[in-house]
Amino acid sequence: MLLSWNSSETAFGVALGSVVICFTAHWIITKRNHTSDTIDSLRTIMVQRYSGLILLGIVPALAMFLIAGWVPEQYGLAARMETEGWVWLACLAVPFVLAGYFVSPSKDNLARYPQVRNKQWSRSTFVHEYSSWLLYLIGYETLFRGILLFGSLSVMSAWSAICLMAVVNTLSHIPKGKRETIASLPASILFGYITLRTGSIWVACLLHWIMAVSVTWFSFRAHPDMHLARKS
């Protein structure tokens, strides 16, 4: 460890700084790899998501360790998920799938999802799509439900930390449109509450992934220009 400042204020400062710097860096990469007059290729989306794992997860985690002295277990990256976490996951998985089902057919949703805009999808396209979503969301949840939430908890009450995280997380959704931004607020509060209840980000991460892959699948099925590639 390069520095040994272990104060709560340092951890909170690193958490906020990580959100601002790392999220902005990832947003710039996303914008540079996307232009409104071209179709997003699979490679473009993979770059965005794998860079998300690095910039939103790995880099902030290193900053928390090197500057604040925090290890992953201190912000919800425990190696295993306890029983309460599995109960939350079992209770909420189906509602999240249903949410994906009902939101997917809308024109506003189909204009953005699936993010991979290939007209023909092979089996490998789905494998890359679903696996890259998981890796990206591990980084995303590490930053917001992990580092920011637990870093805030070190200097304020639980509900204040949840509210701060939820507001910041909601603001990060503004580029995705009004509907998704509004929907992200209650989801952020729910994820924050579950994370503090269980002491782990894994429930939020898996629920977020379930929602993402559900929207991908149902949007793919509803999109008039997308279909499964025929085997030659």
Candidates 122, 121, 164, 116; CA nearest to 144 is 164
Question: What is the predicted pLDDT for the residue at 78?
Answer: 84
- Domain assignment present for residue 15? The answer is yes
Q: Output the CA angle 79-5-165, nearest 5 degrees.
A: 55
Determine what percent of the chain is predicted with pLDDT higher than 70: 93
* Torsion, CA 190, CA 191, CA 195, CA 198, rounded to 10: 60
Question: What is the predicted pLDDT for the residue at 20?
Answer: 94
- Domain assignment present for residue 64? The answer is yes
pLDDT in tens, 126-183: 999 999 999 999 999 999 999 999 999 999 999 999 999 999 999 999 888 888 899 9
- Domain assignment present for residue 3? The answer is no
Burial class (CB in 10 A: 0-12, 13-18, 19+), 111: exposed
Q: Sorting pLDDT into bands at 50, 70 and 90, what band is 79?
A: confident
> Residues for the chain: how many in total?
232
pLDDT at 187 over 70: yes
3-state DSSP of 73-95:
HHHCCCCCCCHHHHHHHHHHHHH
Question: What is the predicted pLDDT for the residue at 97?
Answer: 97
Which tokens in the block code for residue 120?
A: 């023909």
Q: Sorting pLDDT into bands at 50, 70 and 90, what band is 230?
A: confident
Question: What is the predicted pLDDT for the residue at 40?
Answer: 58
- Domain assignment present for residue 2? The answer is no
Range of the domain at 93: 8-228
- Domain assignment present for residue 191? The answer is yes
Beta bridge partners of 228: 121
- Domain assignment present for residue 181? The answer is yes
Query: Quick check: 152 and 125 in contact, CB under 8 A?
Result: no
Mean per-residue pLDDT over the chain, rounded? 91
Rounded to whole angstroms, the Cα distance separating 208 from 187 reads: 9
Tell me the DSSP string of 208-231: HHHHHHHHHHHHHHH-TT-EEPPP
pLDDT in tens, 18-57: 999 999 999 998 887 654 434 557 888 999 999 999 999 9
Residue 129 CA from chain centroid, whole number = 14
Mean pLDDT across the stretch 101-112? Answer: 92
pLDDT at 189 over 90: yes
Q: How many domains does the chain have?
A: 1
pTM assigned to the model: 0.91
Give the chain's end-to-end CA distance (angstroms, integer).
Answer: 55
